Structure 1
């Protein structure tokens, strides 16, 4: 189940890897993020990951790594976040942890009824009691025409 989701996530990222957002660095932490429409997920993969699909549903995917002896190592971080439109109230993101082998991903759904800019703010903590790092970015959402 998770292997299928992880493989799909990697395939989804591959075409945009060179044009996608650069990872964000907080000291020795490296944070990768991407946002996409939920319709890109096959229904069975979305269900297994606990994600909803729909024309107004999006998915945020985050991975946190740390360099360990020159090679990246997944960090089982603590994430809290919110999303809001330019004029809307913040809505909390409910991150789900997905572990596949040595890889760890955090995914969450969000909703947007119409096309527009969404503002994301994610607080990332490498471990309980560690410094909290804030990742903020904006992304335009295009609802599906289904």
Structure 2
């Protein structure tokens, strides 16, 4: 599993100039890092271990919530959905990956080639619910 996290970090650094590079937004007392990228970027053994599908028309949405002060990963509830430009609603089901020193929330979403998805993600810590919005143009991977 640590290999998966290293891959995500590597991809976010290597592809920082592309539309699927990791981004961060401050929401209340949290720094919320988010990225959406092709599921085929995940190694087969990692995908199997996490129960993820590797398909050329599936994207992986990865959310990490850090306390702004301590920079420690936070256990929260992450929910959300994606909509394409004509309003087709795609519910996101997040799984939690807790590696002790890092906590990630991942969901998959099916898409068409060159489909723009507008993501609305809710981060709920039990006290307050914050909203994150972003959009990505998704491409069908040729692999």
Q: Which residue of 1 aligns with 2:134?
A: 137
Offset at 1:54?
Answer: 0.7
Q: Once superposed, what is the RMSD of the aligned Cα atoms?
A: 1.7
Distance 1:41 1:21 in 2: 15
Distance 2:81 2:23 in 1: 21
SS at match of 1:113: coil
Matched ranges for 1:1-146 at <5 A: 2-17=1-16, 20=21, 22-68=23-69, 71-125=70-124, 127-128=125-126, 130-146=127-143
Q: 1:65 to 1:15 in 2, by over 3 A?
A: same
TM-score by length of 2: 0.90
Offset at 1:50?
Answer: 1.5
List runs of 5+ in structure 1 lacking aligned partners: none
Q: Assess if the C-alpha contact under 8 Å between 1:114 and 1:143 holds in 2.
A: yes
SS at match of 1:74: coil
Offset at 1:101?
Answer: 2.4
List runs of 5+ in structure 2 lacking aligned partners: none
Distance 2:75 2:34 in 1: 15
Offset at 1:45?
Answer: 0.9
Offset at 1:58?
Answer: 0.5
Distance 1:96 1:90 in 2: 19
Aligned residues: 141
